[in-house]
Amino acid sequence: MLNGRRILLIVGGGIAAYKTLDLVRRLKERGASVRAVLTDAAQQFVTPLSMGTVTGEQVFTDLFDLTAEHDVGHIRLARDCDLVVVAPATADLMAKMASGLANDLASTALLATDRPVLMAPAMNPTMWSAAPTRRNKNILTTDGIGWIGPATGAMAERGESGLGRMSEPLEIVAAIEAHFGKGPLSGRHLLVTSGPTHEPIDPVRVIANRSSGRQGHAIAQAAAGAGAKVTLVSGPVALPDPQGVQVVKVETAREMLAAVEAALPADAAVFAAAVADWRVAEEASQKIKKGAAGLPTLSFVENPDILATISRAAGRRPRLVVGFAAETSDVVANAAAKRMAKGCDWILANDVSAAAGVFGGEANTIHMISEAGVETWPRMDKAEAARQLIDRIAKQLGPVAP
């Protein structure tokens, strides 16, 4: 997918720097060549030896390296590539770029490059939201810099969490692939649903579930990275929008169905959202109060079955329809029955019982059920599961006819 692409990776000095070793591995798996520049601070987390081992290239650290600079090496580094990726992009590196400073190899190469630059920020949430950082980001955006994240999550500091976490390596890879605009799903339109739905009981209460949306959002990001045009219909989540994806935000199951139907036609649809099966028959216009009358009585009606509706949409059905089955017992048997009942092509089943840690967690164990049978994938993080699914979808659809 990135065969022959030359990436200059500039590694800033943050704890997330350790993830760049995996990022390099992922890029090389896809055929890219990577050369790395480590700042002084980055070398506190990643050594030149370890980075050189995974890149298979000389690692650059010193602006005044006599061996590299005999032919103005910082200029050559800055321009002998197709793309510059800064990960982690620290507040310090952002400030240097926005101000045009060039007092080390990393900042000098960034000022000297005439190639596109993508930055993957990583810093404490307070630093990310600070006025100088926001000002620097606006300047850099105006200058044409592209952004990957940041994501929301736990920080290295004990008890700290929020927006500022560096995007995961596979998310960065997907953004790089999307930048080059080619992939096995180029010319295809994928429709993805994600997150929970919220079904109102009264103005302050809803029926919901524990879905975080991480798996659906990861699928949308992986699809965009594979070159697809992606429409993501998302229920309420606390996640940033995936890069390069059209996001339609909804609350209820009925809103989600309407948005899905409006997004058709699509070559493939992946229904990863955890849609509420029921809603109250009549939403109260005012908050239901406790009182002498005792507990309120709620009557329920079924929500529309989005997966079944699209699987049976004559004339508008996507060529490939993929559903998810969130089960707490008899996972494979219940999911196989669901595939037959809904009429979809594939079902990806997972155990969402509390012990499995799937809802709200970072990892997933998937059983892929199709007409060919059951295939159990090893436990993996949700971004990797998304990439595997997108690889399967790309092979199933094949390239677009010229």
CB-side exposure of 179: number of CA atoms within 13 Å? Answer: 22
Element (DSSP H or E) covering residue 257: helix 253-263
- Residues belonging to the binding site are 277, 287, 304-307, 324, 338, 342
Quote the CA–CA distance of 116 and 24 in Å, as a whole number: 18
- 294 dihedral zone (left: phi>0; alpha: psi -120 to 50; beta): left
Give the rounded distance of the alpha carbon of 121 from its chain centre. 15
Q: Of the residues 124, 136, 138, 209, which is catalytic?
A: 209
Residues counted in the chain: 402
Active-site residue, 364 included = no
Quote the CA–CA distance of 276 and 246 in Å, as a whole number: 23
- Residues belonging to the binding site for CTP are 277, 287, 304-307, 324, 338, 342
Q: Which residue has the tokens 């809802």?
A: 359
Contact assessment for residue 184 and residue 1, using Cβ atoms and an 8 Å cutoff: yes
Query: Phi first, then psi: what are they for 30, rounded to 5°?
Result: -95, 10
Quote the CA–CA distance of 184 and 253 in Å, as a whole number: 32
Active site (catalytic) residues: 209
